[in-house]
Copies of this chain bind each other. A is one copy, B any other.
Amino acid sequence: MILAWFPVDCIRGNVVIFNIVIYRINQSATGAILSPDGAIMIGVGIIGLGTVGTGTYRILTERAALIRKKTGLDLGVVHVAEIDPRKLKGKNIDRTMLTSDAMELIRDERVHIVAELIGGMDSASDFIKEALSRKKQVVTANKALLAEKGDELFALAAKTGCDIGFEASVCGGIPVIRAIRDGLVGNRFTYILGILNGTSNYILSRMTDEGISFGEALKNAQQEGYAEKDPTFDVEGIDAAHKLSILVRLAFSSPVTMKNITIHGISRIDPVDIGFARDFGYKIKLLAIAKKTSSGIEARVEPAMLPLNHPMSSVNGVYNAVYIVGDRVGPNLFYGKGAGSEPTGSAVVSDIVDLAKKISGKAVVSVPGLTVSGRHREAKSSRVPYYLRVMAKDMPGVLSKISGILSDYKISISAVTQQGRKLSGYVPIVMVTHDAAEDGLKKAKQAIDKLSFTKGQSVHIRIEEGNS
């Protein structure tokens, strides 16, 4: 049943009207349909089955139930366009939804959200424009395109009342775009520091850790699939500059383009300088830097030295991070994987879900955990390594007796130190155990504390290796 229908021009907000109508009928002008139990079904079209497109396809198809549980939205891939048959090889794609013609996908009335994931400039731009002019929501991971033609595309989106989601264009899986745009909306920003290119960061990390040359580190990175055959784009700072231009536009509302950014790469960095930097308390990183100054915005990508105690100094390997200072919130740092099929696909999916919420008129701030479930594990069943300090008299046989008791409780020692730092007549015996049950450890500790040559209560502290 159609409840209401009124002629609307395409200004902001009115898209919602169509969808309220959709909510009450089975098939609407925009093609959204109801699933049997009344959830709104929203169709996604994916253009390009490269690295990011494949990750997006996998997450959307494999995680439809999870997304539905979290948001109440029924999202489905309904059309996939890929011009290169080799890219389909070995991939489990529903062939009935495949086309080699992206325009056919864009025209498909079941497609409400178009994900442009081919990269490059001209075709990508044409597809996005066509999608917007057909009032479809767009998601893209194409940083080069946004850096070069962002003005034009966003203006067209505004005119058609549609949106372009671009979370995946900067820092892959890290939700940094929505953090700056929504999470810190009440702030003016003064400073951005980014490690925006995983390839460069990986190469610099290896040069730093192993003292090897740029050439050698690059070769290793290429062999391990972290650098392209022609690495110019990554190691000369161009990719990082594309991403910086997007961040600057977002944070400073400033139309910075590539020619406003000073760009230097890492290819001329000498390991000797990495060593001296360490002596002075610094680490060399390829930094994307943007500063708001009284004389304008300064934007640069270059290898620079960062104090070792700065949180960005511990961003190593292929990881990316953005450190941004808001005038109300102070510094924030966002860290994670900057590339890869599923991390970047995860970002594309987050935009798709946001746009689906917009289309469906769903709440922006969803209520969490309404259908909560899950058991709670008893803490004592957890097995981790422990630190254990026993205060004991410095005499023969002490360590043997203590390790014997630990062994009785099936606890083995991975490291021990007995440095003779004498504290009130006793010396500390400090041990790190292999994985152990807390329960057993506590019992062993009680037994140790009853020994004649130990003093007071021993101390045990959990060791959390921090990698899940």
The reply to whether the CB of A84 lies closer than 8 angstroms to some CB of chain B is: no
Say which residue of B6, B13, B345, B382 sits within 8 Å of A23 (CB atoms). Answer: B13
The answer to whether A376 and B296 have CB atoms under 8 Å apart is yes
Report chain B residues within 8 Å CB of A107.
Answer: none
Beyond A312-B466, A343-B330, whether A377 also contacts B154 by CB under 8 A is no
Complex Cα gap A428–B279 (Å): 13
Known: A4-B4, A253-B373, A307-B466. 9 other contacts (CB 8 A): A13-B360, A70-B185, A154-B367, A173-B330, A297-B375, A305-B461, A305-B462, A309-B314, A328-B342
- 8 Å CB interface, A434-456 against B: none
The answer to whether A303 and B262 have CB atoms under 8 Å apart is no
Beyond A14-B20, A182-B353, A186-B349, whether A253 also contacts B193 by CB under 8 A is no
The reply to whether the CB of A298 lies closer than 8 angstroms to some CB of chain B is: yes
How does the 8 Å CB contact mask read for A389-431 relative to B, with 1 for contact and 0 for none?
Answer: 1000000000000000000000000010100010100001010
- Could you show 21 A-B contacts with beta carbons less than 8 Å apart? A17-B17, A67-B186, A69-B253, A178-B179, A179-B334, A183-B347, A193-B464, A249-B369, A272-B389, A300-B379, A303-B461, A304-B464, A306-B464, A310-B465, A321-B333, A329-B347, A332-B336, A335-B335, A351-B365, A354-B364, A358-B363
The reply to whether the CB of A88 lies closer than 8 angstroms to some CB of chain B is: no
- 8 Å CB interface, A116-146 against B: none
Chain A contact patch, size range: 35 or more
- 8 Å CB interface, A255-279 against B: 255-256, 260, 262, 270, 272-273, 276-277, 279
Q: Would you call the interface of chain A mostly helix, strand, loop, or mixed? A: mixed
Q: Choose the segment among A97-105, A219-227, A287-295 that binds chain B (4+ C-beta atoms closer than 8 Å).
A: A287-295
Number of this chain's copies in the complex: 2
Beyond A70-B185, A297-B377, whether A358 also contacts B368 by CB under 8 A is no
The answer to whether B357 and A335 have CB atoms under 8 Å apart is no
Beyond A276-B417, A305-B387, A463-B282, whether A364 also contacts B365 by CB under 8 A is no
How does the 8 Å CB contact mask read for A322-343 relative to B, with 1 for contact and 0 for none?
Answer: 0101101111111111001011
Closest to A16 in B: B361
The answer to whether B363 and A12 have CB atoms under 8 Å apart is yes
The answer to whether A280 and B3 have CB atoms under 8 Å apart is no
The reply to whether the CB of A82 lies closer than 8 angstroms to some CB of chain B is: no
The reply to whether the CB of A93 lies closer than 8 angstroms to some CB of chain B is: no
Complex Cα gap A336–B252 (Å): 20
Report chain B residues within 8 Å CB of A467.
Answer: 310, 331
The reply to whether the CB of A96 lies closer than 8 angstroms to some CB of chain B is: no
The answer to whether B366 and A163 have CB atoms under 8 Å apart is yes
